Structure 1
Amino acid sequence: MHEEPILQVRNLRKQFGTGCKQCSDIDNRNLEKNFCKQCGTVYACQDISFDLYPGEILGIVGESGSGKSTMMQCLYFDADVSSGEAYISEPILAGKNVFELSSQQKRSIRNHVYGMVYQNPVQGLKMNFSSVGNIAEKLIAAGNRNVSEMEATSKRLLESVHIPIHRMKEEPRNFSGGMQQRVQIAKALSNNPPILFLDEVTTGLDLSVQANVLDLIKNIQRDLGISMIVVSHDLAVIRMLADRTIVLLNGEIIEQGLTDQVLEDPQHEYTQQLVYSLL
């Protein structure tokens, strides 16, 4: 593993609501979980900091409402952070807190540096475009204008995620959930992103389909050496994919370490409950 992280996140905070005297003082918050009963403010992400290294899969695990998906939305610029910093080790972005960039610069990062696979394929795909058209859309956003080149790239990517050639011109709305996820993965990979975000990508899929999608993700990671952040409430998914794991509870990191270490010898009471409920 290289020493220089590809992504550094520092003190990411996201709150919904303005806060009040009861909850605004960080050191002396009076919260019910991550919720202020007095004013209704939700502290979805509280001072989340981590590094992602080249070629690493980082797992983020936690129950529903722990802040995992909000964190992903902030990282991918689907939501604005309340405060915090993130740095990407690309020469053009050196030393720049990407949360403070213009919307145009953020769009450029989404088009060239990041790939995203959403839990619900409807968020990541245009269901009435063909599968090839979905990938072409991403390539055009990244500046590609060569039609035959885009078609060749789209076909290659769809083949790599096991979409049959005779269905490539079909619309994803005709596909099963597992196939939709695979098209979404192909689309996310189309701009060769060094960083890929995967948000609960196996939720709602049959077990055999889940296994196929997870195999696909592992193979992609091995072949392309992409850095990935994988969010899941399912420890089996994290165990299969992640090199290191962060455990979130009520918007805070409560434990982190090598995945084997965290799952074999959990230190925090909540992580222990998570692990033992699996056994």
Structure 2
Amino acid sequence: MLEEPILSVKNLSKQFGDGCRRCSDPSTRDLIKNYCPSCGMVFACRDISLDLYPGEILGVVGESGSGKSSLMKCLYFDSDVTSGELYLQDEEFYGQNLWTLSAQKKRYIRNHKYGMVYQNPVHGLKMDFTSIGNIAEKLIAAGNRNVDNMKMVGEKLLDTVHIPLFRMKEEPRNFSGGMQQRVQIAKALSNNPPVLFLDEVTTGLDLSVQADVLDLIKRIQREFGISMIVVSHDLAVIRMLADRTIVMLNGEVIENGLTDQILEDPIHPYTQTLVYSLL
């Protein structure tokens, strides 16, 4: 019996613009990459389907403008979808298309079922809160009201991500980029989410700091068994983290499979270019 995906995306489309006769019919669509020169419509995501399995890290790789960040925004409800279905293996929401739920229920899923680590920590942290205060904010959003419990959870998580506890009452704006990302990871883990999203989390970090963050992500995945979707333009990051990988170009998935297979025997010319650039 095959294992059921914890998260399943079916035929996701995300468009910017109203469209025209030249681009509205997929069978006759005439685009420049993912752009319609007649009306200016941009197809950020085109008919994307994917499954994320329990305890798995799924990599999403592609160049800037490929649609990978738009995909992540749709999954985390930061952006509305044009069409598609999203299902979570959870008894509260089983069989329900999450994209059709009310704003209140989507907020509940973000607070209880999801964790998110943004490329820019400013989007995931309140820089004028203390580090432990950022974690407490997420815990309060998930319904926790016990101050002692929140302090205990916050201290444990900051220790897990190697933030010295004597700095837990410092504001993240005083931290380095790598430390800010680790605080963001701690905050994302605070509600014990079954699904964690990571969007370009090593971009802009020094190589040694990148390695520390990647090691932390792998350790968290082993210890907590969380399912993760990791977005990156860097195939070296995907190679280190991901069990399976999808490759995106111009809003479409052009290749998918086990990460080792894609690295050793890429099929699509674009994926071949990505892989050979590592050699």
Q: TM-score range by the shorter chain?
A: over 0.9
- 1:124 corresponds to which residue? 124
Question: How many Å separate the matches in 2 of 1:146 and 1:218?
Answer: 30
- 1:182 corresponds to which residue? 182
Question: How many Å separate the matches in 1 of 2:179 and 2:211?
Answer: 13
Task: Report the Cα offset of residue 28 of structure 1.
Answer: 1.2
Secondary structure at 1:27's aligned position in 2?
Answer: coil
- 1:28 corresponds to which residue? 28
Task: Report the Cα offset of residue 266 of structure 1.
Answer: 0.1
Map of 1:196-275 to 2, 5 A cutoff? 196-275=196-275
What one-letter code is carried by the residue in structure 1 that aligns with 2:127?
A: M
Q: Deviations over 1:165-185 (max 9, x none)?
A: 111000000000000000000
What one-letter code is carried by the residue in structure 1 that aligns with 2:237?
A: V
Question: How many Å separate the matches in 1 of 2:220 and 2:27?
Answer: 43
Map of 1:1-279 to 2, 5 A cutoff? 3-279=3-279
Question: How many Å separate the matches in 2 of 1:103 and 1:133?
Answer: 25
Q: Do the aligned partners of 1:2 and 1:54 also contact (CA within 8 Å) in 2?
A: no
Task: Report the Cα offset of residue 77 of structure 1.
Answer: 0.1
Secondary structure at 2:81's aligned position in 1?
Answer: coil
TM-score, with normalisation over the residues of structure 1? 0.99
Unaligned runs of 5+ in 1: none
TM-score, with normalisation over the residues of structure 2? 0.99
Q: Deviations over 1:102-150 (max 9, x none)?
A: 0000000001110000000000000000000000000000000000110
Tell me the C-alpha RMSD between the 2 structures. Answer: 0.8
Secondary structure at 2:211's aligned position in 1?
Answer: helix
Question: How many Å separate the matches in 1 of 2:53 and 2:121?
Answer: 27
Question: How many Å separate the matches in 2 of 1:143 and 1:27?
Answer: 48
What one-letter code is carried by the residue in structure 2 that aligns with 1:158?
A: L
Task: Report the Cα offset of residue 277 of structure 1.
Answer: 1.2
Secondary structure at 1:148's aligned position in 2?
Answer: helix
Question: How many Å separate the matches in 1 of 2:28 and 2:2?
Answer: 38
Q: Do the aligned partners of 1:2 and 1:53 also contact (CA within 8 Å) in 2?
A: no
What one-letter code is carried by the residue in structure 1 that aligns with 2:174?
A: N
Task: Report the Cα offset of residue 26 of structure 1.
Answer: 1.2
Summarize the Cα distance change of 1:243–1:173 in structure 2 as closer, same or farther, 3 Å threshold: same
Question: How many Å separate the matches in 1 of 2:28 and 2:203?
Answer: 37
Question: How many Å separate the matches in 2 of 1:2 and 1:25?
Answer: 36
What one-letter code is carried by the residue in structure 2 that aligns with 1:128?
A: D
User: Moved runs in structure 1, 4+ residues, more than 6 A?
Assistant: none
Question: How many Å separate the matches in 1 of 2:18 and 2:270?
Answer: 29
What one-letter code is carried by the residue in structure 2 that aligns with 1:36?
A: C
Comparing 176-185 and 1-10, the one that deviates more: 1-10
